[in-house]
Amino acid sequence: MISRRRGYHGITIASASLTGIPVDHQSFDLPLPGFLHVTAPHYYREGQEGESEEAFSTRLVNEIEALILAEGPQTIAAFFAEPVMGAGGVIVPPQGYWEKLQPVLKKYGIILVADEVICGFGRTGRMFGSQTFDIQPDMMILSKQLSSSYLPISAILMNDMVFEPIADESHAIGAFAHGFTNGGNPTAAAVAIEVLNIMEERDLMAHVSDVSVHFQARLRALGASSTLVGEARGVGLIGALELVTDKATRSSSLQVGQLAKYAFGLLQNKGVIARAMGDTLAFSPPLIITREQVDMIFDGVAEVLAQMEREIGSGQFH
C-alpha cells in the first residue's frame, strides 16, 4: 500500500498504517510492514527553491513511480489518498498533481482509493473531492457528511475491477467473510438517505459553491494582510492558515504549535471554533454557513491575529 506523509486515514491497525502522521505511529509499532509513505503534496513546505508548482508535482509523481519500480509493481495493491488532506493540515494538491499521478497508477495497474471521508458531500465545493480535482478513483471511502454524522455510518464504493474478484472469491468460499456486526445498519442508512435528500432539496451544493467564494476570499485576504500568516490555503469550505513569526524564512521562533494553540484559545473566547494542527489553524464550517457567518469567523480571526502581532511586537508573547 502506498499513501502519503501527512495523510490521515484513521486509527485501526491498517488505516493508522496508511496514515502518515508520526504521532499516530509512535508508541503503536506502526506502520505495519508493507505500508509505504511518499512525500506530502505540500508545495509551501516541500517545494524546492526555484521549483514551480508544476515541477514540484512532476518530482513527486516521479518519486512515486520510482518507488513502484523499486518495490516491483506487482507487489503494490493500492494508492490511498485524500483528494485534499484534512487532518494533516488542509493540504490542497499542487497544480498538475492528480493529472500526472493517475496515468502512472493506471500504467502499473494500481488501484486508486480516494478517501473522501472529509471531502465527500460538498466540502470542496462539488459533491466529491474527486470531482473537484478530476480524479477517477477505483474506490471511494465515505463517511462524516454521509449522515452529517447524526448517526455513525460509512460506506465504500468500488468499481467492477475491485468488486468482481471479491464477489468471485466470496462465491468460491461460500461467504463474504469480512462483514461487521453493525454493517448495513438500517437506522443509520435511513438517516443518511434523509440527509442526502435534504442536501438535494436545499440545493446545498449550489449554496456551497456560492458561499465558498467569499470564504476563500476572506481566508486568503488574511494571508496578505497578517504578518503571522505564512500560507493561506483551501478549497470550497475547508481552509487553513499556517502561522509563522517570519514569513521570509517560513518559520516560527516559538515552540512548534504555540502560535496556533494560542490563536485557537483566543478564537474560542470569541465563539469561533477552529482546529489547531501544529502551527496550522484550520476551518471547516457547516455547509449551511451564511455569508454573514463567514464574516463573523474571519472578523474574529483578524482581531486575534492583530492582537497576537501586537503581543509579539511588544515582547509580551511567550
Ligand X SMILES: Cc1ncc(COP(=O)(O)O)c(C=O)c1O
Phi, psi of 234 (to 5 degrees): 160, 180
- Which residue stretch of 7-15, 219-227, 235-243, 245-253 sits at the interface with ligand X (rule: CB under 6 A)? 7-15
Residue 4 binds ligand X (CB under 6 A):
no
- Which residue stretch of 6-14, 34-42, 178-186, 250-258 sits at the interface with ligand X (rule: CB under 6 A)? 6-14
Residue 78 C-beta: closest distance to ligand X, Å: 14
Residue 139 C-beta: closest distance to ligand X, Å: 13
Residue 299 C-beta: closest distance to ligand X, Å: 28
Residue 88 binds ligand X (CB under 6 A):
no
CB nearer to ligand X: give 105 or 117.
117
Cα 168 to chain centroid, rounded: 34
3-state secondary structure of 39: coil
3-state secondary structure of 191: helix
Residue 281 C-beta: closest distance to ligand X, Å: 17
CB nearer to ligand X: give 119 or 244.
119
Residue 10 binds ligand X (CB under 6 A):
yes
Place of cell 456560492: 210
| Close Cβ partners of 213 (under 8 Å, ≥ 6 residues apart) | none
Q: Which residues of 7-45 are buried (b: 16+ CB within 10 A; e: fewer)?
A: bbbbeeeebbbbbbbeebbeeeebbeeebbbbbbbbbee
Residue 80 binds ligand X (CB under 6 A):
no
Q: Which of 8, 98, 262, 298 binds ligand X (CB under 6 A)?
A: 8
CA 188 – CA 199 distance, rounded (Å): 16
Give the count of residues interacting with ligand X (CB under 6 A): 10
237 touches 122 (CB < 8 A): yes
DSSP letter at 125?
Answer: S
Site for ligand X in 97-116 (CB under 6 A): 115
Site for ligand X in 122-161 (CB under 6 A): 143
CB nearer to ligand X: give 47 or 86.
86
Q: Which of 38, 118, 192, 259 binds ligand X (CB under 6 A)?
A: 118
CB nearer to ligand X: give 89 or 230.
89
| 3-state SS track over 54-87 | HHHHHHHHHHHHHHHHHHCHHHCCEEEECCCECC
Residue 35 binds ligand X (CB under 6 A):
no
Residue 118 C-beta: closest distance to ligand X, Å: 5
- Which residue stretch of 57-65, 80-88, 231-239, 288-296 sits at the interface with ligand X (rule: CB under 6 A)? 80-88
Residue 87 C-beta: closest distance to ligand X, Å: 5
Phi, psi of 120 (to 5 degrees): -65, 150
Residue 242 binds ligand X (CB under 6 A):
no
| Close Cβ partners of 159 (under 8 Å, ≥ 6 residues apart) | 138, 139
User: All 3 cell numbers of residue 261?
Assistant: 494553540
The footprint of ligand X (CB under 6 A) covers 8-10, 82, 86-87, 115, 117-118, 143
